[in-house]
Amino acid sequence: MKGLFLIILFSQSLLLHAYDLGFVSVPDMNQIMEYPSDVNPEWPLELIDIAKQDYTRNTKASFCMRPPEMVDTVVIHHSETSSSATPAYINELHLARGTATDPWYMIAYTYVINSPYKGATVPTPLVTDGRPIEIAGAHAGSNVFIPMDSEQAKIWADKKILCGKENEVPTFDATLVKNGKIKANVTTIGVVINGNYAPFAKNNPGGYSKRAPRYPTDKTQDMIARLSCQLQKKYPRMKYIKWHNYYHDTSCPGTIKSYIGQIKTLAKGYGCDFN
C-alpha cells in the first residue's frame, strides 16, 4: 500500500516542483509526504491542456512553501499588459517589481491564461503554468488577512507552512497570521488573464476607452471554468472562485469580475461546485 502511495505521489507534479526548489531537503520531503494530496485516481482529467514554462527565479528572494491542501480559492486577475504578453514577460515584470530589500521570487500567479479580447482573434488561447502551487502566491495583496477553516488552522498550527530562500533551511514565519486570520496569499492561487480589462485611468494608462470596453470571450470564460474544475478534481478543497478586488481596492480584474457567476455555472457543467 505504501509502495502504491509512493508511486501516486511521485506521479504528481507537486513533488517534481518540490525537487526544483533547491531548499527542499530530505526531512522536508518527509513532511510533504505526511500531507498527501487528496489524490483523485481520475486525474489528470482532460478538461484543458496546461503548457509548461521554465521561469527565471530570484534566488535572493524568500518565499513560503505550503501543502496544496492549504489552498481553497482561485483568485482571478487581469495582467494590465497587452493580451499577447507571454508568461515569461509577466515573470520579468514581477521580478522587476521587487526591490533590493523586498525582492520578488518569480511570477506571482499560479496560472497564466492567454486569450483574445471579445471580438478579436489573437492571441491563441492557452493556459500556462505559473509558480508552483506549493509556493504561496503574491497576488491577493500582501497585507490582506482572511479567516481560516479548521483544516487550514490545523495545517498552520502544525507549522507546515515554512519560508526561506533557495538553499536555506526554511523556517516558520509567525507574521503570516494575525488575530487568527492568515494572509490571503497563503490560502489562494492567482489565475491571471493576460490583457487589460479595466477602463483607462491615470494609474491604468493601458485601459480601454469608454467607447470600446473589453470583455472576455466565451472561450476565455470556458478556459477559466475548465482550469478551476480540473484543479478541484485534483485538490477537492478548492471550492471558491474569487476576484482580485474582492480582497482589496484595485481595478483588477476589470470587466472579468462580472463573469465569475457564469464561470461557476460553466464549471458546474464539468461536474464541479464553486462558491
Q: Return residues touching Zn ion (CB under 5 A).
A: 77, 244, 252
Closest distance between Zn ion and the C-beta of residue 148, in Å? 22
CB 219 within 8 A of CB 125: yes
Shortest distance in whole angstroms from residue 252 CB to Zn ion: 3
Minimum Å gap between C-beta 244 and Zn ion is 3
**Nearest partner of 191 among 271, 268, 107, judged by Cα:** 107
Cβ of residue 61: shortest distance to Zn ion, in angstroms?
20
| Nearest to Zn ion of 77, 214 (CB atom) | 77
Which grid cell is 100?
Answer: 533590493
C-alpha span between 83 and 86 (Å, rounded)? 9
Residue 109 Cβ vs Zn ion, minimum distance, rounded to whole Å: 9
The smaller minimum CB distance to Zn ion, of residues 154 and 248, is found at: 248
What secondary structure does DSSP assign to 93-112, as a single string? HHHHH--SSS---S-S-SEE
What φ, ψ does residue 73 adopt, rounded to 5°? -140, 135
Q: Which amino acid is at 26?
A: V
Among residues 13 and 86, whose Cβ is nearest to Zn ion? 86
| DSSP β-bridge partners for residue 172 | 162
Q: Which is nearer to Zn ion, 111 or 156 (CB)?
A: 111
CB-nearer residue toward Zn ion: 37 or 79: 79
Q: How far is CA 228 from CA 146, 224, 231, in A?
A: 21, 6, 5
